[in-house]
Amino acid sequence: MRTVVIPRFGNPDVLETRELPIPEPGTGQVLIHVAYAGVNYADSMARKSGYNVDTLPFVPGHEVSGYVRAIGAGVEGLRVGQPVAALTIEGGYAEFALANSVLTFPLDQSSSDIDLAIAACFPAVVLTSYNLLTDVARVRPGESVLIHGAAGGIGTTAVQIARHLKARLIIGSVGSLDKVPYALSFGYDQVVRREDFVQAIQEATAGRGIDIVLDPAGEPTRSQSLSILAPFGRLIIFGNASGQPAVPVSPNDLLSNNRAVMGYSLRSLSRSAPHILANTAHKAFELLVNGELHIDITSTLPLEQAAEAHRLIESRESTGKIVLRI
């Protein structure tokens, strides 16, 4: 089968297309004939620095869509030939990919047909957005939300979910002004440059601060976000795109300022509590089927151009979601 592998760490050019044997599904696993694979920033971090890579060569790819090719022992509720989306965490850049059956989601059990390209963006992006807001931040009606990376895959879905949950004020930050109109089209009340967000939040909230911040950026954005939380505000960390060292947070400072810092890892949750993600998928899928959630694919490339997909996502000029067509 055709795959794209990381043979060594480095720039996008290190990615290689190779022929590898088709894997066999083990107990509780499903083998998927992949149609599309979503491209995520974590894939490029794996390639650049070995983020969550155990051994080389490594096949990246967090999320896929396609058709069930084979089923391992103990799998129920899925059948060969069934269209599915799946959270793979790794191995998605390939013609065939293995997935935990619990994290494999049928696409033929709703009244509306879901395009396979769109479905490939659902497992990592939508599940993350939904978990961040409902299970970690636990947003309540009337609260205010700041979302960094507002023009990206998570930024453009999280704002829609926050609106569904009746957040009152939703502000996004982006890396450049040319992304502002795009982000605003998904329902933000205001979108600002990342360099200006501290002042913008103070002005928008009359100095009170923001209730919830979703931060994939890391420092210095992380510390700045903590400083503008309202009483009982929550800073949710789900990435470190900047690659900068973390700044220690004092529990005493959190105590005295009535603030909280929480983390979210899709990878660790998929291993320790996949049933939580399965429950999330059921709820979030309804938003997609009912038209309450729109996923915007801005670039579709063939598998062999995975390096170009990585260059796009690392340029910080891309918006929406990038997928690979297998």
User: pLDDT by residue (tens digit) across 30-83?
Assistant: 999 999 999 999 999 999 999 889 999 999 999 999 999 999 999 999 999 999
C-alpha pair distances (Å), 90 with each of 22, 96, 304, 305: 15, 12, 17, 18
On the question of pLDDT at 113 being above 90, the answer is no
On the question of pLDDT at 243 being above 90, the answer is no
d(Cα 236, Cα 59) in Å, to the nearest integer? 29
d(Cα 268, Cα 284) in Å, to the nearest integer? 20
d(Cα 260, Cα 164) in Å, to the nearest integer? 24
Architecture per CATH, 129-265: 3-Layer(aba) Sandwich (3.40)
Class of domain 2-121+295-325 (CATH, top level)? alpha beta
pLDDT band for 109, please (50, 70, 90 cuts).
confident
User: pLDDT by residue (tens digit) across 175-203?
Assistant: 999 999 999 999 999 999 999 999 999 99
User: Which residues neighbour 230 within 8 Å (Cβ) at sequence distance 6 or greater?
Assistant: 144, 205, 208, 209, 210, 211
CA max distance for the chain? 60
Per the structure block, which two tokens stand in for 85?
Answer: 């989306």
In the prediction, which pLDDT does 111 show?
Answer: 66
On the question of pLDDT at 247 being above 90, the answer is yes
d(Cα 25, Cα 160) in Å, to the nearest integer? 36
Peptide bond into 7 cis (omega under 30): no
Mean pLDDT of 116-120: 97
- Give the range among 122-126, 131-135, 221-225, 289-293 with minimum mean pLDDT: 289-293
- The pTM score is 0.94
Q: Range(s) for CATH 3.40.50.720 in the chain?
A: 129-265
Question: Phi/psi class of residue 206: alpha, beta or left (left: φ > 0; alpha: ψ in -120 to 50)?
Answer: left
Mean pLDDT of 124-142: 98
On the question of pLDDT at 110 being above 80, the answer is no
Per the structure block, which two tokens stand in for 49?
Answer: 């620095």
In the prediction, which pLDDT does 317 show?
Answer: 81
On the question of pLDDT at 134 being above 90, the answer is yes
User: pLDDT by residue (tens digit) across 261-282?
Assistant: 999 999 999 999 999 999 999 9
pLDDT band for 316, please (50, 70, 90 cuts).
confident
Q: Range(s) for CATH 3.90.180.10 in the chain?
A: 2-121+295-325
Residue count of the chain? 326
C-alpha pair distances (Å), 231 with each of 133, 183, 198, 209: 18, 28, 16, 8
